[in-house]
Amino acid sequence: MGLSVLDGAALAFFAAAWFAYHIVVEKTPAGRRSLNMVMDVHRRVWMQNMLARDNRIMDANINATLQNGTAFFASTSLIAIGGALTLLRSTEDALNLFAELPFGLATTRVAWDIKVLGLAVIFVYAFYKFAWAYRLFNYAAILLGAVPPLGQGGQPEMEAAAARAGRMNVVAGRHFNRGQRAFFFALAYLGWFISAYVFVASTAACLVVMGRRQLASDALDALENAHG
């Protein structure tokens, strides 16, 4: 016996919540004032201000910091994938453990394996996003180095080169954000191992917390209210 109807409904809610969050934050007018989008504007401003600096070591260091953070999450994703697959080797012990929890519901081995594989898929997705973001930050570093020095290029050429570097940085940041989003939803996904009801509740809580951080957080207020 595979997943129950309740499990299927909870999984559908989880997928719908993730997709809806993606659409709202990245595709709607409300999303254009989200924390990520506002930071994208500052990424472009950073590259434009970089044009006025003859010594761009600071800019290269900032880009390297972004790369290092992305590499950390990519490595963590691989560890998480290994941990999720390890759960498949201890299915019986895990089933007994979760069955004894206050909100735990009896489940089958097939359902457990499906849940574990689903968790592994989420972390695989996160790894690909972080790995690609790392590569894009590498490209952004190359484009940063390709911006002509002061006095050695025309203004239109310099501005175009800075705009390319800024756009690449924005794209890299977007993929990093999607990978981090997968981590947050993976935490919500863990509720499914207890019960479908907990899964729905944890997904809803994750959606609320992430939505508030993007659209109504003190970090966003700090960017919009310079005198706060």
> Tokens in use for 47?
């590259």
Residue 52 DSSP code: T
What are the residue boundaries of the structural domains of the chain, listed by start? 5-224
Q: Which residues contact 52 (CB under 8 A, 6 or more apart)?
A: 150
Cα separation values, 76 from 37, 136, 168, Å:
25, 19, 24
| Cβ neighbourhood burial of 71 (10 Å; 0-12, 13-18, 19+) | middle
pLDDT at 133: 97
Mean pLDDT of the region 30-58: 91
158-181 confidence digits (pLDDT tens): 899 999 999 999 999 999 999 999
According to the model, what pLDDT value does residue 46 have?
94
Contact 113, 88 (CB under 8 A): yes
pLDDT band at residue 41 under the 50/70/90 scheme: very high
For residue 186, the model assigns a pLDDT of 97
Residues 189-201: tens digit of each pLDDT:
999 988 899 999 9
pTM assigned to the model: 0.90
pLDDT tens for residues 81-126? 998 888 877 767 666 766 666 655 566 778 888 899 999 999 999 9
| 227, pLDDT greater than 60 | no
> Which residues are CB-contacts of 93 (< 8 A; sequence separation ≥ 6)?
none
